[in-house]
A and B are shown apart, each in its own frame.
Chain A
Amino acid sequence: MVNGVAAEQAARVAGAVVDPELPLVTLAELGILRDVRVRADGGVDVAITPTYSGCPAMVAIRDDVVAALGRAGFGLVDVRTVLSPAWTTDWITPAGKAKLAAAGIAPPGTAPKRGAGPVPLVLGRRRDDVACPRCGHAGTEQIAAFSATACRELRRCPACREPFEHVKEI
């Protein structure tokens, strides 16, 4: 294989691995696949980053990437963890956000930008403008700040009365 073609193929294969906790989106769409390089010896170096420090899926993701690249003919796969820069929901691609919404999970908006000084304290509700992924109603309310995983919160829609999850902006 010409190296450029191999690199493209490796990136495509690794990027197409699905997230174990949100299997409707791929690692590339979630923005947790940071780098894929084919080495001179034909092996592949892959860099992934955790969404949260305690993400229990990192080992499964690592194994799935090695297995997928192995099935595509890449033998020597080295998966590294990178912690910096820290993952942000801004790295979820437009296609990833569209898939989340189609599955009834409201995608994140733009992550809040930090100014200078201490992290601002939010005592009121963070957002009232998360649109309902089912009926599109604009004003929904938070039920709980955490959900099945740390990256999601529980909300409900006053129009269609359905509860839903929203990926929090970080």
Chain B
Amino acid sequence: MSFDDAYGALTDHDDDARWAYGTGFADPLAGVPTAIPDGVDRADLAAYCLMLGDDALIMSHRLQQWVTRAPELEDELAVANIGLDLLGQARLLLTRAGEAEGSGRDEDTLAYLRDPHEFRNVLLAERSDDDFAHLVARLLVFATWRLALLDRLAASGDPVLAAIGAKGVKEVTYHREYAAQWVVRLGDGTPVSHERVQAAVDAVYPLVGELFETHEVERRLAGRGIAVEPASLRAEFDAVMAEVVAAATLRLRAATAVEPGRGRDGMHTAALGEILGEMQELARAIPDGAW
């Protein structure tokens, strides 16, 4: 396909161009070795890649919903770029999940043709944001947790997960910084902004507990040096949150989870159905559609 002519590229159906990514986005892991490390259960590896991939995919979609709604043009750029980084991570992880399960499902099939109960993201990723303070508080929690996770994943015994982790660390470092600086600006801002971001932190904290629960898939793969045990990330997470919250003159109230999250087992809130309805509508209406 040539990009010398934009219209030609748009209508070029000679390759496996699919509408979903515009003009012929191919396998994001093209040429990356696909071997599964010895002794690793393929179903477990697939499930684990889905967990981390779905976190990124669903969070990315929520971020995209803020484009055209953010307070400033600069923040739309930031939110769009952060969403794009996470979408890139999701593509790599979903592709790896498809390879590991060996069923022939590719990233598009996994993103567009699964039902809510088949998604493995944590509930934090699917939560909708009442206002911009909610978005930055939720992004701070998400990025702080994911950065600690990806940093340890860089030492995974699966070379593909290790590479995704090492690359993602560089990206999520900037995501965390963006969210942290906004939380500080709002918290240490006017009485109104302080009150609203405090309310946002209070609203998001009941979802923190789920992030550090270790699923049996994670426990088994961690034992083989492939996955990261989320419980091991808690100290780093708490230290970063304490630093940000202190700089923002906010308080962390004791987090009392109303009920433990079970997103890793496919039990979700209605919010995920709303996201998938929007995200999957076209793919389900026109299967394998190309343009």
List residues of A whose CB falls within 8 A of some B CB. 20, 47, 50, 52-56, 58-60, 62-64, 67, 78-88, 118-119, 121-123, 126, 143-150, 154, 168, 170
Whether A20 touches B3, Cβ cut-off 8 Å, given contacts A58-B28, A123-B181, is yes
Inter-subunit contact A54/B30 (CB<8 Å): no
Residues of chain B from 98 to 144 with CB closer than 8 A to chain A in the complex: none
Residues of B within 8 A of A121 (CB): 176-177, 180, 240, 243-244
Inter-subunit contact A170/B170 (CB<8 Å): yes
How distant is the Cα of A87 from the Cα of B28 in the complex, in angstroms? Answer: 16
Is the C-beta of B276 less than 8 angstroms from some C-beta in chain A?
A: no
Residues of B within 8 A of A86 (CB): 163, 166-167, 170
Q: Considering the complex, give the chain B residue whose CB is closest to the CB of A111.
A: B170
Beyond contacts A53-B92, A53-B164, A123-B184: 4 other A-B pairs, Cβ-Cβ < 8 A, are A53-B91, A62-B30, A81-B29, A121-B243
List residues of B whose CB falls within 8 A of some A CB. 1-3, 23-26, 28-32, 74-75, 77-78, 80-82, 84-89, 91-92, 147-148, 151, 159-160, 162-164, 166-171, 173-174, 176-178, 180-181, 184, 236, 239-240, 243-244, 247
Among B81, B82, B148, B169, max chain A CB count under 10 A is at B81
Identify A64's interface contact among B3, B173, B176, CB under 8 A: B3
Q: How many whole Å from A129's CB to the nearest CB in chain B?
A: 18
Q: How many whole Å from B191's CB to the nearest CB in chain A?
A: 22
Q: How many whole Å from A35's CB to the nearest CB in chain B?
A: 11
